[in-house]
Amino acid sequence: MTAMLEVRGLTRRFGGLVAVNDLSFELNEGEIVGLIGPNGSGKTTTFSMLSGALRPSAGSITFNGERIDGLKANRVCHKGLARTFQVVQPFPDITACENVMIGAFANTGSGQEAEKVARERLEQVGLTPKAETLAKELTLLQLKRLEIAKALATNPKLLLLDEVAAGLTPTEVDVVLDLVNQLHSEGITFIIVEHVMRFVMNLSHRCIVIDFGSLIAEGTPEEVLNNPAVHAAYLGEEASIA
C-alpha cells in the first residue's frame, strides 16, 4: 500500500538558519501521527511546508501520489490537505457559520450548499449554539473548535492540527480529544503537533520526534517516550503532563 503522504529530504533554510533539516517520513491513510519536539524544533515550519504556506528549500512532498511541494496553500487545500493554525486565525468580523462557510466554498459554488455543510461541521464540533455569533466574540476553546470546523469544511483527507490543545484546560483538552477521535473514526488522517503530552499519547498511533529540524526518533508513543535521545532533546524542558 503506498503511503498517503511521503516526505523526503524536506529542508527549509531561513538565511543561515536551517529550520528543517532533511526530514523524511511517511504517513499511511487512517493513521494519527504525532509530530513532537522541543520548542523551535521546526514542527510548525514543517506544517507550513506541508500545507503550502512556505516553500521548501529542498526535498519533496508527495500526497496521494502527487507532488505538492511548492504549491500554494490554496491549491494544497484543494488536494485534500488542510491545516489549523497554532495561533487561531478566525475571520473576526463575521459569524462562526460564515467562517466555516468560507471553508465549505472550497468544494462548492453555491451559498446554500456551503451553509448546509457549514452547519453540519459546526454541529460536529459542537458549536451550533454559537453559529450566529461573531468570531471575535468567541472564547479560546470555541475558536479552536471553529478552527477545526473551518478546516473540516474543506473536506480534507489529511488534517494537520497545530497545537490545538495549547492554552486549554484539562477538561477542554478532553473535549478536543474526543472530537479528534470521532473525526478519525469517520476516516480522516491526522498529523498532530502538540506539546500537551496526554493529547499526543492518547491519540497517536505513531510519533515522530524532531529536534533542530532533524528527525531523532520514530515509533509508538511508548517507544518514543522511553527513547534516551528524546529525553536528551527535551532535557531541561518539562513537557507538560496535563
Partner 1 sequence: MSVKMPYIRILIVGALICLLPLVLDTYYMHIAILVLIWAFLACAWNIIGGYAGQHSLGNGLYMGIGAYSVAYLTNRFDLTPWVGLVVAIVLSAAAAAFIGWIVFRYALKGAYFALVTIALTEAAVYIVSNIPALGGAGGMQMEYRGNSIAYMQFAGKNGYFFGGVILLVFILLLTQWYKRKRFFYQLIAVRENEDAAEALGVDTVKAKIKANVMSGVLCAVGGVFYVQYFLYVGPRSVFGEIVSVQILIYAIVGGLGTTWGPVVGAVLLVPLSEIARAQLGNSFQGAHLLIYGAVMVLTMLFMPFGIMGAVDRLRQRWQHRSATPLVDSQGGEAS
Binding site for partner 1 (CB under 8 A): 51-53, 72-74, 77-78, 82-83, 85, 89-95, 97-98, 101-103, 105-106, 108-111, 114-115, 132-134, 150-151, 153-154
Residue 106 burial (CB < 10 Å; 0-12/13-18/19+)?
middle
Which C-beta is closer to partner 1: that of 20 or that of 149? 149
Ramachandran quadrant class, 148 (left: phi over 0; alpha: psi -120 to 50; beta: rest): alpha
Least distance to partner 1 from the beta carbon of 142, Å? 15
Instruction: For the CB of residue 206, give the shortest distance to partner 1 in the complex, in Å.
Output: 25
Q: Residue 86 Cβ, how far from partner 1 at the closest point, in Å?
A: 12
For residue 212, the Cα-to-chain-centroid distance in whole angstroms is 20
Closest separation in Å from C-beta 14 to partner 1: 18
Edge-to-edge strand list for the sheet holding 214-219: 81-83, 158-162, 189-193, 32-36, 206-211, 214-219
Residue placing its CB nearer to partner 1 in the complex, 73 or 216: 73
Q: Is 21 or 95 the residue whose CB approaches partner 1 more closely?
A: 95
Burial 134-145 (b: 16+ CB within 10 A, else e): bbeebeebbbbb
Shortest CB 172 distance to partner 1, Å: 22
The values of phi and psi at residue 161, to 5°, are: -105, 115
Closer of 77 and 141 to partner 1 (Cβ):
77
Residue number, 40 or 92, with CB nearest to partner 1: 92
